[in-house]
Amino acid sequence: MSKAEFDALLSPCMLAGGIVLNNRVVMAPMTHSSSNPDGTVSEQELAYYARRSMGVGAVITACAYVNKGGKGFYDEFGADRDDLVPGLRKLAETIQAAGAKAILQIFHGGRECPPELLPDGQPVSASDVAPVRPGGQTGPAPRPLTEEEITGIIADFGEATRRAIEAGFNGVEIHGANGYLIQQFFSPHSNLREDRWGGSLENRLAFPLAVLREVKAVVAKHAAMPFIVGYRFSPEEAETPGLTMSDTFALLDALAEEGVDYLHVSLRKFDSLPHRGTEDSRPALRQIVDRVAGRAPVIGVGSLYTAEAALQALEETGADLVALGRPLLIDPDWVQKVEEGRAADIETELDPDGQQRLVIPQPLWNMLVNTPGWLPMRGRA
């Protein structure tokens, strides 16, 4: 296919707040465990992002914890204190120097935080419901957060946003997906509270909306220029009770009413079918786009290794943008190849000898090559 046939991917996209992205491709947020142990941004991390920022319209960074009790990954960088701003500024400048908008994903891991990474060794959440790990094993039971702690964490999301503004980022993405703290409050599986933060659907929405309002208030106070506020969410949960498409539709309505610059769907495959909470048999992403109904751009994601697959995702679901994660690990030149009419040259399998060429930090490389099924690997069945 020629470059012209990919115009739907390469055309500019205006976000709800007026900021324009150069094209419809964004780099998805991916944990890389390559920051410095003290939470600062590392040189290898900067090189990794520099290699992948050329061509995409925006880069959504790996998640940054908003306080030490929310650190979810080894060697994750933080946004929880002011002395981290200089490193964050380097990261923003690195991304922007390549022509992409820089978006800092901010997060609290809640009950998913490894105890050994926490100051007191105790994960926290909405309630004391232990997480279920792959294979059926349960993790440590979290401690329910107090009212004071909840309001403190909401303020921490605001402070992390202030630091992102001071560091020169173009925006933040609130991480309300993948089973982390914000989703834990929204989920009927993990939130068994009987106060104003739990129980009814309206009460379970209270924490996500409070975080969004705090972030937007900080932006209104501190940002001298337009600043992106996005929100990432997971449409469904496997548990019963758990989040269903019906819950997600309510969340989307509430977020759209509050006002967000984009909504980012977390899916393994862009054409995943819904399981519960809707009578519609179409892919979940298509239903989400219809529910949002143009109130904010929607970012779709999920196993889009080729330009043809990304184009198909846009056309079939109606999403406004596509997020590429694993494809940009395999081929950082993905967008440039499309722009140059060389979409057929996009690599779709990881080169097992390509670490230096691909500029992938050692911790992330170890995860990629030692985790079967994570990425298509050249030479592996």
Cα 66 from Cα 79, distance rounded (Å): 5
- End-to-end Cα, the chain, rounded Å: 28
**Considering only CA atoms, which of 360, 345, 285, 344 is closest in space to residue 320?**
285
Q: Which residues contact 114 (CB under 8 A, 6 or more apart)?
A: 72, 73, 74
Contact predicate 100/13, CB 8 Å: no
Give the distance, in angstroms, between the CA of residue 167 and the centroid of all CA atoms in the same chain. 19
Catalytic member of 49, 65, 180, 305: 180
**Considering only CA atoms, which of 248, 337, 335, 339 is closest in space to residue 54?**
335
Cα 217 from Cα 230, distance rounded (Å): 14
Give the distance, in angstroms, between the CA of residue 116 and the centroid of all CA atoms in the same chain. 24
Q: In this structure, what token pair is assigned to residue 253?
A: 């309505």
Whether 180 is a known active-site residue: answer yes
Long-range contacts of the stretch 288-294 (C-beta < 8 A, 24+): 288/235, 288/248, 288/252, 288/263, 289/317, 289/318, 289/319, 290/318, 291/249, 291/252, 291/253, 292/252, 292/256, 292/263
Q: In this structure, what token pair is assigned to residue 328?
A: 């940009």
Contact predicate 80/122, CB 8 Å: no
For 228-240, b/e burial (b = at least 16 CB within 10 A) is bbbbbbbbbbeee
Report the catalytic residues.
180
